[in-house]
Amino acid sequence: EEPVVAMPTVSRVAVCGGTHGNELAGIYLVREMLKKRADGTEPVSVVTVMSNPRAAQLCVRYVETDLNRCFTRAALSAPVSETSPYEMIRSQELNALLGPKASAQAVDLLCDLHNTTANTGLCLITYSDRDWICLHICKHLQFPYMLDICYAKAYLCPTSVSISMEIGPQPHGVVRSVIFSAMQEGVQLMMDWICQFNSGTLFEGGWVDVYTMVKNIDYPRDSETHVITAAVHPNLQDRDFCLLHPGDPMFLCFSGETLRYRGKEALYPFFINEGAYYEKGVALSLARKRRVQIPSQHTLGLLDY
């Protein structure tokens, strides 16, 4: 007999766009959602938030520091003043609005909208490896890539269930209509799942492929100047989630030399050539794929925990 998991309803949801101010699909989607006035008949209460309005105004990733790294316990409890970096002040504001993190008042589910210059397609990112709701949503969206970045405790996730929806490829500062439409549809399907779940639908269990982050790979750099000396190899460029085998080309040096993947284990590359990661020393990330079985699931009912 397969287990059936019963969980509380997802009564309060937050959708956040513009955590990075130049990732435009989420910004325009949040603006559209904010135009529609709630009339009280919605089955789920949704808070729509522009996470980093100053960065969105300037169309930059961040004004002083990456907002999506300001949600550690330390950052959220640090004293802030007018002279603190804008994003440090903002993360505490968001935590108060949507959380506080890990408290009973926190929204039940937060969906953070992102774009990447990498060819990831539609990708859902969780921060917990036992996140049945995220996994069921992934199944309901018909298997976008499901990324599990457990270690990333600093990301925008002040709530019990946190999903980042990452869609690429899209250049920063550009909105591509197919990317916008995919994001709009992804959010809609997620809301459909939540509504059905809240009204008592039983969702059958099954299997979901989850990619778990193993390591980051930096560009080859000049030992003195730290300037990069190669670009992602044309054979690897745009091949996110295509298995990379030992010996496969990774970088094409400006000198013409090919550098190959020297790891012993074949792994799945993702975030290949993301523009914002040059300054973080990341050319691509590598993940292991595993099948995760998810139980059938339904809500406990309308009782809140």
Question: What does the binding site for other proteins look like in residue numbers (CB under 8 A)?
Answer: 28, 31-32, 59-60, 117, 169, 171-178, 180, 227-228, 231-234, 237, 252, 254, 273-276, 278-279
Closest to other proteins by CB, 117 or 159: 117
Strands 206-217 and 12-17, sheet pairing: unpaired
Cβ-based nearer residue to other proteins, 70 or 183? 183
What is the rounded CA–CA span in Å between residue 93 and residue 89?
6
Neighbour-count burial of 73, counting CB atoms closer than 10 A to its CB (0-12 exposed, 13-18 middle, 19+ buried)? exposed
Q: At 179, phi and psi to the nearest 5? A: -70, -45
Closest to other proteins by CB, 12 or 172: 172
DSSP class of residue 147 equals E
Minimum distance between the CB of residue 225 and other proteins, rounded to whole angstroms? Answer: 9
At 157, list the tokens: 């996730």
- Find the catalytic residue in 64, 166, 274, 279: 166
Closest distance of CB 118 from other proteins, Å: 9
Q: Which helix (H) or strand (E) holds 135?
A: helix 132-140
The annotation status of 23 as a binding-site residue, yes or no, is yes
Minimum Å distance from CB 193 to other proteins? 22
H-helix or E-strand spanning residue 178: helix 177-198
Task: Estimate the crossing angle of helix 177-198 against helix 132-140, to 10 degrees.
Answer: 120
Q: Are the beta carbons of 106 and 98 closer than 8 angstroms?
A: yes
Nearer to other proteins, 36 or 215 (CB): 36
For residue 148, the SS3 value is: strand
| Extended beta strands in 104-241, E state | 109-115, 121-126, 145-148, 161-168, 206-217, 230-232
CA-to-CA distance for 13 and 191, rounded, in angstroms?
9
State how far the Cα of 108 lies from the Cα of 126, in Å rounded to an integer. Answer: 14
Provide the CA 109 distance to its chain's centre, in angstroms. 13
Pick the closer one to other proteins by CB: 8 or 121: 121
- The token pair that represents 267 in the structure block: 């792994």
Smallest gap from residue 63 Cβ to other proteins (A)? 13
Between 32 and 204, name the residue whose CB sits nearer to other proteins.
32
Is 279 annotated in the active site? no
245 annotated ligand binder: no
Q: How far is the CB of 185 from other proteins (least distance, A)?
A: 12
The residues carrying an active-site annotation are 166
Binding residues for Zn(2+): 20, 23, 114
Binding residues: 20, 23, 114
